[in-house]
Every structure is written in structure tokens, then in C-alpha cells.
Chain A
């Protein structure tokens, strides 16, 4: 795998934009060989599509109060079809799931993306400069990683209050150290290669070397990890909503939908909590299958 990476790097140097696009198409074509990965990709794409076009896809608004406790396939007096039923306040579950998709995909992407930027910068610095930079960053990472994640989230959010910002902050805070460790390990390995020594001899600046020469060659394991982490962040956002620490209502959030209505489940009013539970599981399944497929393909490479 490392050999193909080095040749990739030299080819794309001459013609970077086209090379990048071709490489992405190439890797999707490779993914075709893994049926598991394809299922994951399709699932993730469906959810991404729903998230982007939520306002057009949802039959009603997420805060339209229509017919409380309507079971699935109910047609209301006004002739509106509620495919997945309505919740205890009479809001259409399907519409709330669709808007909830938008919210969870948005926050999961934002949080994971920010965590990646922070983790990559820290990991590159630790692995490239080594010495005291590495010592300090690694100790910080150890301290943060020694907290059980959910305990850390509860502590941060109960101190700072629940909002989109604190949730993103908490996820970045908790997952950047893990990303840093991976990037650090990859950097320590790649920094010994000849092309890095060549770049140093050319007199390129450390950050240019790290970001342009080093990082692109570490992308393989990072992409797989990013997929897994997207899944995990989705779970986290859902779990926070479930614990009542999620984003404030009325905007729907899968975990919050389950939490609000799970007491009714004991009275066999199942559709209010089971559908969000299935939605979150399907999205996470998509990310996990995609990650597995990508790993399989990259190993075969």
C-alpha cells in the first residue's frame, strides 16, 4: 500500500486537481468489489440526500400539530396521510425523522470535521517535531482519553449548557486526542521516508512538508477512521439527546424523540420511539459498513 501511495504522490504533483477527482472515482470503483462497503455507501448516500433536501422531502413541518397518538398509516380528517404515525403532540413522525436527519448529519459532520482538523494538526506537530512538543501533546491526549467519553460529555454539557456549540465542542474535545494519536503514529512512520528528507533538503518549511508531503500519504487509514468516527459521533449526538442533554426542542433530534416518548412504549405505543431508534441504527450501520468496505479494499490494494 505504501508503494502505491508514493507513486500516487508524484503523479498528482504534476496534475493535482484532475488527479484527485480521478483518485476518488477510482476508489469508489474499487469499493464495488466489496458488497458490504457498497451497502454502506448507499445507506450513507441516502441519509446525506435526505439531510440536504429535508425541507422538500418532508410531507409536513416538524412542528405541525396534527393528530396526537395517530398510529402508522393514519389518514387524518383533513385527508393527510401520516405514514409513520404521529407523536404524543400530534407531529408527523416521518417529517420529524427527516428533519432530524438533517440535524444529526449536519452536527456529526461539523463535529467530526473540526475534530479532524484539530487532531491532524496536533498529530502532525507531535509526530514531526517530536521532543517536548510530542511529550506535552501526548500527555494532554492521555489525560483527555482517560475520561470515559460519556462522563466527559455529561460534565462538559452540564457545566456549559446544552447547545449546538457545546455539543460540537464536547465531541471535538473528546475525539481530537484519538485522531491525534493515529496521525502521530502515521507521521512518525512517514517522516522517515526519502521524499520527506528530499523536501527538507530543498528547504521547504516544516508545515508545508507536513501538510503537502506528509498528510496526503497518510490518508488511507484516516479515511477509514473518519467513517467509523462519523458513526460514533452519530451515536453520541443521539445518546446526548436521549439523556436530555441534546439540542433544545422543538427542532427534532432522534435521541430526544426516543427520550420524550419511551415512557409511552410501555403502553405499546411503539411507533414514536422505535422509528427513531431504527433510523439512528441504519445511519450508523451505513458508516460502519462503509468503513469496513474501505478497509477491505485498501488492504487488497
Chain B
């Protein structure tokens, strides 16, 4: 177990470093474009040269990269080009907002998907199975940007139930969270449901379930005590991998509802070439993705005795 942990964590570190290097070269590979970005389009060549020298951008790329890694490791994310403020000052708040959005989504999506998946998988080919499967295909087919528009029209314009944007202009308002979370849940739950269904259906055909039913155990007891334990192992990995997809959806959903989170920050930074914010966002995204994958791998090994003891 310790060996696995060490191996997983070192792979994770290696991937983070590789990604960091790619991000660094993409954004800061050319010193002149960095200087141009910081000093603006009207700076003269001499000014660029002076800036490059003063800030050590005339050094060899690997040296600068190590310097940058040191900075990031000690919590220095640089200064935002568009706001002229340290990235740290607003970065964590934005990330926290996205954390709330993603957390709420998970809190609703995962139980919903697991319950539906188990219900569908208990009786493969039954009416409830078919209904749940078709519904989940339908919802997974409506991309976030389409469901955002359709839901806004129905709920905000026609029914006038909810506010149309989620910019939290008048302070924090939970009502404004409902639509973004709904959009993310609608698009995301289908995949977990289908995976849970497949896993549950497989378990239900296994010999030990048949034995349990034949020896006369109450059906509920068979499901809760015998089937669920094994059926929920593989969806666990899927759920952890879903973090990666959720971050993608978050970018689109935040843009659709003008929610001030990670996604809108990344888009804004990308459009204005705010390189230090882009780097911070990229690193944060990859960290979340890789961390959840590692957690998923380790958790899966822990949950599955066949792997744990081999």
C-alpha cells in the first residue's frame, strides 16, 4: 500500500512538473512577448530590453523555469497584467467560488446518479431501467450552453422564478446558484448513472447474489448488504474522474451565467493574454484533475480487495 502511494504521488508530481513546463514555455518562452504583455502595445524596444534584463528574462529557459517552480511552490503566483495586482489577491476567492459551485453540483449529482443507477441496474431490461437509461441519454445530449439558454428562457423569462444571471451583484444569493447547479447536474449525472447501472447489473447476475436470493434472504437485504457493496466500487472511480469533466463544464456554465469563478477568470485572462493568471489557472486545473485521479486510483485499490491483496 505504501509503495503504491509513493508511486502514485511521484507520478502525480512528474505530471504536474511536465504540465508546468508546457504551460511555462507556452506563456513565457519568448521573453519579448512577456515584456510586451506587461508593458503594453506602445512600449518601445529599448523599454522591452530593459524590462527583460531587470526581471531576469534574459536567462536560459530551464533556469527561469526552476526559478518559476520555486516561486509557485512558495505561493508566489506573479502579478496580474490586467489588474496590476498580485494574482494571489483574487485568485483564491475565485477558486473558492468555483469550489462552492462544483461542491453543490457533486452533492446533488452523485446521490441522484447512484440512486437512479442502482434502480436501473437491479432489473436489467425492465421498464424502470429503460426509462432511466433513455432519460439519462437525453440529458447527456443537451450541452451546458444549450441547457443554460433553454432553462433561462423557461424558468427566468416565462415563469419568472429565478434571477437570470449569477454574478452575485447584490451580495451572495443562493437563488442565483440554482440554475448553474441544475445545468451542471443535468449534463453530468447521466454518465455516472449509466456506469452505476452497468456495474449493478453485472453484480446482480453474479453467483453469490443468486445464492443469496435462493437461500431465501429478503430481497432488500440482498440488495443492501450484498449487492451494493460491490456495485458501488467501480462508480467510485468514475465519480473521481468526473471531477475533470466537471471543471470543463464549469468554464462554460460560469460564462453562461456570469458567475465569478475559476472559469470566467481563465477565459478573461486568456482573452487578454494575462499570462500569470493563465499559468495559475492551468496549474490549479491540472492539480485538481490529477489529484482527483490519484485519489480515485488509491481509493479503488483500497476498496477492491482483489487488487489490494495481490
List the interface of chain A (C-beta within 8 A of B).
36, 142-143, 145-151, 154-155, 158-159, 231, 235, 238-239, 242-244, 255, 258, 262, 265-266, 268, 270, 273-274, 276-278, 280-281, 284-285, 287-289, 292
- Is the CB of B39 closer than 8 A to any CB of chain A? no
Stretch at the interface among B44-52, B211-219, B247-255: B247-255
Q: Is the interface of B mostly helix, strand, loop or mixed?
A: helix
B247/A36 in contact, CB under 8 A: no
Partner of B146, one of A150, A155, A280: A280
A274/B137 in contact, CB under 8 A: no
Contact A154 to B270, CB < 8 A, known contacts A148-B244, A243-B252, A288-B137: yes
Partner of A150, one of B18, B26, B251, B288: B251
A284/B149 in contact, CB under 8 A: no
- Is the CB of B273 closer than 8 A to any CB of chain A? yes
Interface string of B105-138 (1 = CB under 8 A from A): 0000000000000000000000000000110011
A239/B145 in contact, CB under 8 A: yes
Interface string of B141-156 (1 = CB under 8 A from A): 1111111011011001
Q: Smallest CB–CB gap between B175 and chain A, Å? A: 16
Q: List 24 interface pairs A-B (beta carbons < 8 Å), by A numbering.
A: A146-B15, A146-B290, A147-B285, A148-B244, A148-B248, A148-B289, A150-B248, A151-B266, A151-B285, A154-B266, A155-B23, A158-B270, A231-B141, A238-B146, A242-B252, A258-B149, A266-B156, A273-B149, A273-B153, A274-B153, A280-B146, A281-B142, A285-B141, A289-B137
Whole-angstrom CA separation of A274 from B153 in the bound complex: 8
Nearest opposing residue in chain A for B12, CB measure: A146
- Measured between beta carbons, the chain B residues less than 8 angstroms from A239 are 143-145, 252
Contact A154 to B267, CB < 8 A, known contacts A146-B290, A239-B144, A273-B149: yes
Give the contacts of B5-32 with A (CB-CB under 8 A).
11, 15, 18-19, 22-23, 26-27
B152/A277 in contact, CB under 8 A: no
- Is the CB of B72 closer than 8 A to any CB of chain A? no
- Measured between beta carbons, the chain A residues less than 8 angstroms from B147 are 277, 281
Nearest opposing residue in chain A for B138, CB measure: A285
Residue of B248, B278, B286 most packed against chain A (CB within 10 A): B248
Nearest opposing residue in chain B for A151, CB measure: B285
- Measured between beta carbons, the chain B residues less than 8 angstroms from A154 are 251, 266-267, 270
Those 7 A-B pairs whose CB atoms lie nearest each other, nearest first? A158-B270, A150-B248, A277-B146, A148-B247, A285-B141, A242-B145, A235-B143
- Measured between beta carbons, the chain B residues less than 8 angstroms from A36 are 134, 137
- Measured between beta carbons, the chain B residues less than 8 angstroms from A158 are 270-271, 273, 278
Partner of A284, one of B143, B153, B266: B143
Contact A265 to B149, CB < 8 A, known contacts A150-B249, A151-B251, A289-B137: yes
Residue of A150, A159, A243 most packed against chain B (CB within 10 A): A150
Whole-angstrom CA separation of A119 from B27 in the bound complex: 27
Interface string of B208-251 (1 = CB under 8 A from A): 00000000000000000000000000000000000011011101
- Is the CB of B82 closer than 8 A to any CB of chain A? no
- Is the CB of B140 closer than 8 A to any CB of chain A? yes
B286/A266 in contact, CB under 8 A: no
- Measured between beta carbons, the chain A residues less than 8 angstroms from B193 are none
- Measured between beta carbons, the chain B residues less than 8 angstroms from A270 are 153, 157
Contact A274 to B149, CB < 8 A, known contacts A149-B248, A150-B252, A243-B267: yes
B143/A281 in contact, CB under 8 A: yes
Contact A284 to B270, CB < 8 A, known contacts A150-B249, A243-B255: no
